[in-house]
Structure 1
Amino acid sequence: MDIDRRLPLLGQLSPRQFMRRHWQKTPCLIRQAVPGVRSPIERNALFELAGRDDVESRIVAQAGERWTLRHGPFKRRQIPPRSRPGWTLLVQGLDLHVPAARSLLDAFRFLPEARMDDLMISYASDGGGVGPHLDSYDVFLLQVSGRRRWRVGPVRDASLVPDMPVKLLANLHPTEEWLLEPGDMLYLPPRWGHDGVAVGDDCMTCSIGFRTPTPTELARDVLQRLTDALEAPGDEPHYRDPAGAATATPGLIPQALQHFAQKAVVQALNDANSLACALGETLTEPKSIVWFDGGGTLGQGQGVRLDARTRMMYDTHHVFINGESFRASGRDARLMRALADERMLAARAVAQLGGDAFELLADWVEAGWIHGTDD
């Protein structure tokens, strides 16, 4: 992607300009970001998707001051009728199941894959919404059908309304209000209060969300990977204390053993290669409800494309895919990085791979992580 090309998606700003002016700084309303937009999924197909076990879905409804929250999967009769006001169906990870949603998500690949989360879609009846709230992540809110009114403002008091099944801000003081039509889009940085309410029937909004992990979350996941990968060399020395003395306090942990443990942990954390692998594997780990349909084969003369559910990234020395890491260098590394960036490789590029790299692609095709193509 040319990050200096002005895009209608960003209000005729280039990705570089948008990131400098708005990213994690200020909201940005973009009229007709996607002219002529159509919802990536029809209403009835969305309702069917919400009934699947491998799809995250929930329904939020409001009746006066009363709010309810239910989690899917939902049978068709459990979804309220369109004529009933004040309810919203939310389906997470639409990009994992609907090619048009994946294509829509790909329009935002001027941002790192490591930051991308998913595309969620909400269907709301008249007056439907999830209430005034704030998110910890960056989000683009694209109106794809119907209309939605947004009230937005900075949050100085993050207190929540007590005893509610959904997190509702008790004191949202909006500074802006916009009515979004199909094709309009609103970008919101983390922790900006917002309240979106459907105006009329068949309101559908796509939310393109981006991960913002906390230090604790990232450390927990990376350290788990790091410890799982630890292997002891055959000649690794054991703890020794030849100068140890008899003790009258056997419950006290010896200071020498504390130092031994500290040195071992620091040594493991100082292994830059292992730490890099643990991070890449963590960032590409598919969500727990994701599984792949394997059994394919890669033929000579074929290109490849990533499955919509596959996460692939790289660093200076490694390629990461779906929670696994591989060392790569030279031409093979360059081509694998191109696959991660473009999510596809043409047949002529696949033909340039070395034998080991081609076999690796074949293994990924068999696992369902990538698919062979004839272009």
Structure 2
Amino acid sequence: MSVGSLDLQDTAADHGRGVLESRLTRLGREEFARDVWARTPLLTRAASDFSDLFSPGAVDELIARRGLRTPFLRVAKNGTTLPEASFTSSGGVGATITDQLDDTALWRAFADGATLVLQALQRTWQPLTDFTSALSTDLGHPVQANAYVTPPQNRGFDAHYDVHDVFVLQIAGTKRWVIHAPVHPDPLRDQPWTDHRAAVAEAAKGEPVIDTLLEPGDVLYLPRGWLHAAEAQGEVSVHLTLGVHNWTRHALAEQLVQSALALLRDDPAMRASLPLGVDAPDDDLAFVRERLAAALTASDPVPRFHRARRAQGRPEPMGPLAQLAALEGVTADTPVRLREALAARLEGSRLSTRVGWLDLAEAEAEQVRRLLDGGEHTTGDLGQDLVVRLLRAGVVVPATG
């Protein structure tokens, strides 16, 4: 199986290019989808300068000054995750919650060779909130961000595989990555590597597909299921892992089955009890199969699929004070825009979003359709009453130009 390695070139983001191309792979979305996505690892040297996204200083800021709690951090050493009580404590007067990060305990663990894993950084570090949202838009799959901080000559985890695709962005230091082909291709989220522990350990003894040092600015893409182990070299290593929580055909099948079962709830014959003393329900099973097959054919899983997708992501952050000021200051020419990462869909005259739904009049639906096309609009374009409703619902935000 081939592994791409691209030559250095200008990586400045161009207008019209998503972050997948401009920051991570230098491949267009169609090329990445055709040749790489869910198929093979991709190593891109000097893909970008990621200092705007994360840094060693960000690690210290998050651990020492942000009052983070578990599970926003875990600690691993020699392949084992340490108990949370070993690195958490009370925050002191006015913040007596007992599971806040203890910077002294974390320093001692780190100095003793432990890896610090800052989790769900898309929730706690604004540059990564924006970046993961943009990448999720590029890919059409939810994305999360973790940071791995490893002391010199240490590794946090032995060879394993993830149940999601990852983009590894080396931020500081260097780290050796050893990659082996899958023993269980395309694992689902309930099929962790520990289900195949012996096969993983055996495969990790073989010839690797990739054995390389990642340096700051390098990016490694790994589809789910590919085995990997990483070890810091002569200095502290900081890397980001952008985890892509893949939607799969299996997930779509689950949505289809749930839609079919919802239809069958309205079928009196399917709500009927089985006979008394039933032992082997062969006749009933044949009847159920027939009705279920018909329901599967008649079902439309798309609305349920979109609801599930919306539930897995978060919209653009919105400050309540700025939103209130915008609402109270609406005039005939107030500029607004659709809130980003809202996963908004107009289904008939109902607007469905990550923050709820609104039923619209026919004329309003036409105006909202224009809003969904992107760009800035004014109350003169949309109607002041509609803008007020959309601001109050958190669907639009002030446009700052």
Report the TM-score when normalising by structure 2.
Answer: 0.66
Structure 1 counterpart of 2:44:
30
Cα offset for 1:321? 2.4
Cα offset for 1:287? 7.1
Instruction: Give 5+ residue unaligned stretches, structure 2.
Output: 1-14, 85-98, 186-191
Q: 2:203 aligns with which of 168, 171, 178?
A: 171
Q: 1:284 aligns with which of 310, 326, 347?
A: 310
Structure 2 counterpart of 1:87:
114
Within 5 Å, give how 1:83-122 maps onto structure 2. 84-106=111-133, 108=135, 111-113=138-140, 115-122=141-148
* Structure-2 change in CA distance of 1:39 and 1:276 (3 Å): closer
Q: 1:67 aligns with which of 60, 80, 93?
A: 80
Sequence identity percentage:
18
Amino acid corresponding to residue 60 of structure 2 in structure 1: N
* Structure-2 change in CA distance of 1:180 and 1:355 (3 Å): same
Q: Separation in 1 of the partners of 2:138 and 2:309?
A: 15
Structure 2 counterpart of 1:270:
298
Instruction: Give 5+ residue unaligned stretches, structure 1.
Output: 241-248, 339-344
Amino acid corresponding to residue 29 of structure 1 in structure 2: L
Q: Is the 8 A contact 1:34 1:184 kept in 2?
A: yes
Q: 1:312 aligns with which of 343, 346, 353?
A: 343
Identify the range of structure 1 (253-262 vs 34-43) with the bigger mean alpha-carbon deviation. 253-262
Q: Is the 8 A contact 1:116 1:211 kept in 2?
A: yes
* Structure-2 change in CA distance of 1:39 and 1:182 (3 Å): farther
Matched, 1:332 2:368: yes
Structure 1 counterpart of 2:392:
363
Q: Is the 8 A contact 1:82 1:125 kept in 2?
A: no
Q: Separation in 2 of the partners of 1:4 and 1:74?
A: 35
Structure 2 counterpart of 1:185:
219
Structure 2 counterpart SS, 1:130: coil
Amino acid corresponding to residue 312 of structure 1 in structure 2: A
* Structure-2 change in CA distance of 1:83 and 1:279 (3 Å): closer
* Structure-2 change in CA distance of 1:17 and 1:218 (3 Å): closer
Structure 1 counterpart of 2:354:
322
Matched, 1:207 2:241: yes
Q: Is the 8 A contact 1:56 1:73 kept in 2?
A: no
Describe the superposition over 1:120-165 as per-residue Cα deviations: whole angstroms up to 9, x where unpaired: 222222213322111222211011122211111213479968999x
Matched, 1:303 2:336: yes
Q: Separation in 2 of the partners of 1:12 and 1:346?
A: 30
Q: Separation in 2 of the partners of 1:221 and 1:294?
A: 35
Q: Is the 8 A contact 1:87 1:129 kept in 2?
A: yes
Q: Is the 8 A contact 2:339 2:397 kept in 1?
A: yes
Amino acid corresponding to residue 98 of structure 1 in structure 2: W
Cα offset for 1:48? 4.5
Q: Separation in 2 of the partners of 1:26 and 1:123?
A: 26
Structure 2 counterpart SS, 1:81: helix
Describe the superposition over 1:322-350 as per-residue Cα deviations: whole angstroms up to 9, x where unpaired: 27456785452242253xxxxxx5344x7
Cα offset for 1:186? 0.8
Q: Is the 8 A contact 1:160 1:168 kept in 2?
A: yes
Greater percentage in helix: 2
Structure 1 counterpart of 2:398:
372
Structure 2 counterpart SS, 1:374: coil
Structure 1 counterpart of 2:72:
56
Q: Separation in 1 of the partners of 2:238 and 2:38?
A: 25
Amino acid corresponding to residue 59 of structure 1 in structure 2: V
Q: Is the 8 A contact 2:110 2:116 kept in 1?
A: no
Q: Is the 8 A contact 1:150 1:178 kept in 2?
A: yes
Structure 2 counterpart of 1:139:
166
Q: Is the 8 A contact 1:33 1:185 kept in 2?
A: yes
Describe the superposition over 1:211-268 as per-residue Cα deviations: whole angstroms up to 9, x where unpaired: 224555555567668878x899xxx89669xxxxxxxx64458979995997489558
Amino acid corresponding to residue 322 of structure 1 in structure 2: R
Matched, 1:21 2:54: no
Cα offset for 1:28? 1.3
Report the TM-score when normalising by structure 1.
Answer: 0.70
